[in-house]
């Protein structure tokens, strides 16, 4: 039998628990009411059963206006399919903590952004069930959701996109002008060459013209490319070889060219020296490797080598270098230029005088070089 003291103690404890519960409810109610986000609950059919938070300040609607209405009534028409799909996923028990973007219809002339027809938000939704999600016979009770205003983020993204577009246009114009200027220089060389009688001087003019065209071609490729940071090197090599072969026609007509380069992109700081190296080696092969009217083959290949390097190989089946010629110490401008350019890309060059001539150039891949620089202090962590 309980005494009065015991009964009073129980009543007192119940009152304390009730007061604590009310205080907790008030705290959570205040938290939800002052939330900068829209907080809502949908019933199993997708109708609003609870709406709170910044609903009125963001959309202009009151909670009472939305209660009982289907959630798709405030989804921008173009986003209805996406929103319905996410609701169906929750109905079937699929879980995801990732938010997704939709646009919510605003009440005309109301809300934080009263001058726009829709509000971009990021939605986070969670399915509610009478049993654990893993249970096969669980019953879907609805969803809890939070909608966060991302207007400022979208505006910032739009500004970044506009800025990037502006820079792309500027880069495109730069490549266009550089290409045109080089073409003008090349044309001036051609006009001047008409007045040169000395064969050796004429050859030097034409070789210089070819070098300018090789550089102009890179800017032309970048001008036409969607990616201004990298150039499709295989396509560039084929175009460059076509230019060189045309310059040495008809000598080159009986020489077959093979290009073995796949899915390889280089930045402009690497592509230009590589292009000039190829130009010199191709000209050297066509000029000295094959007697006039001679037949043969020139092969150009470039492949990844030793994890973080590239190997460029230019070989021909021509007459080849004689043993008494040191290509590193030759007085010809072309080979001097090759040696300088190989040094510029921090590479090495080797000559095989076996069947014909084979130059093998190895250098660090531009992407691995960039990664090394980003590690700071110039420390090579590439292994």
Which three-class secondary structure string do you get for 173-215? HHHHHHHHHHHHHHHHHHHHHCCCCCHHHHHHHHHHHHHHHHH
pLDDT at 111 exceeding the cut of 60: no
Encode pLDDT of 11-70 as tens digits: 566 666 665 655 665 566 667 777 888 999 999 999 999 998 888 888 888 889 999 999
What integer is the mean pLDDT of 243-268? 83
Closest CA to 60 of 20, 18, 115, 126: 115
Q: 43 is written with which tokens?
A: 């019933």
**pLDDT of 252 over the 90 cut:** no
48-53 and 230-232 strand pairing: unpaired
Q: Which CATH architecture describes the domain 19-149?
A: 2-Layer Sandwich (3.30)
Sign of the torsion angle spanned by Cα atoms 178, 180, 185, 186: positive
- Could you tell me the pTM of the whole model? 0.57
Q: How far is CA 261 from CA 157, 211, 255, in A?
A: 37, 22, 19
**What pLDDT, in 10s, does the model give residues 266-300?**
888 888 889 889 988 888 888 877 777 678 889 99
Q: Are 237 and 226 spatial neighbours (Cβ–Cβ below 8 Å)?
A: no
Phi-psi region of 290 (alpha: psi -120 to 50; beta: other; left: phi over 0): beta
pLDDT at 382: 34
155's CB contacts (< 8 A; 6+ apart) are none
Q: Which residues of 79-106 are buried (b: 16+ CB within 10 A; e: fewer)?
A: beeebeebbeebeeeeeeeeeeebbbbb
Annotation: CATH topology of 229-383: Heat Shock Protein 90 (3.30.565)
User: Three-state SS for 112?
Assistant: coil
pLDDT at residue 197 is higher than 70: yes
Sort strands 100-105 and 48-53 into parallel, antiparallel or unpaired. unpaired
What SS3 class is residue 29? helix
């Amino acid at each position: 039998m309980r005494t009065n003291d015991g009964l009073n103690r129980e009543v007192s404890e119940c009152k304390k628990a009730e007061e604590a519960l009310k205080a907790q409810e008030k705290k959570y109610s205040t938290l939800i009411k002052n939330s900068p986000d829209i907080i809502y609950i949908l019933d199993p059919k997708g109708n609003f059963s609870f709406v709170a938070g910044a609903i009125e300040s963001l959309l202009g609607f009151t909670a009472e206006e939305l209660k009982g209405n289907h959630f798709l009534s405030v989804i921008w028409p173009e986003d209805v399919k996406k929103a319905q799909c996410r609701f169906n996923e929750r109905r079937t028990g699929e879980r995801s903590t990732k938010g997704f973007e939709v646009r919510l219809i605003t009440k005309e002339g109301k809300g934080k952004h009263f001058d726009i027809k829709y509000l971009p938000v990021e939605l986070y939704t969670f399915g509610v069930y009478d049993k654990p999600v893993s249970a096969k016979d669980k019953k879907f009770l609805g969803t809890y959701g939070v909608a966060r205003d991302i207007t400022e983020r979208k505006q910032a993204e739009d500004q970044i996109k506009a800025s990037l577009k502006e820079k792309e246009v500027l880069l495109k114009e730069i490549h266009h002008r550089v290409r045109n200027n080089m073409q003008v220089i090349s044309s001036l060389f051609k006009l001047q060459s008409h007045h040169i009688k000395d064969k050796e001087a004429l050859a030097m003019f034409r070789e210089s013209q070819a070098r300018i065209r090789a550089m102009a071609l890179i800017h032309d490729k970048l001008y036409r490319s969607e990616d201004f940071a990298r150039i499709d090197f295989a396509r560039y090599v084929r175009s460059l070889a076509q230019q060189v072969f045309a310059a040495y026609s008809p000598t080159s007509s009986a020489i077959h060219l093979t290009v073995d380069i796949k899915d390889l992109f280089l930045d402009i700081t690497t592509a230009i020296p590589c292009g000039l190296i190829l130009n010199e080696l191709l000209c050297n092969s066509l000029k000295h490797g094959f007697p006039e009217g001679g037949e043969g083959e020139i092969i150009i290949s470039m492949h990844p080598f030793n994890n973080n390097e590239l190997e460029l190989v230019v070989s021909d089946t021509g007459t080849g270098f004689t043993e008494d010629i040191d290509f590193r110490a030759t007085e010809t401008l072309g080979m001097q230029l090759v040696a300088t350019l190989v040094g510029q890309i921090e590479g090495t060059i080797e000559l095989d005088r076996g069947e014909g001539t084979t130059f093998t150039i190895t250098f660090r891949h531009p992407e691995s070089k960039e990664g090394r620089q980003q590690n700071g202090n110039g420390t090579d962590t590439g292994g």
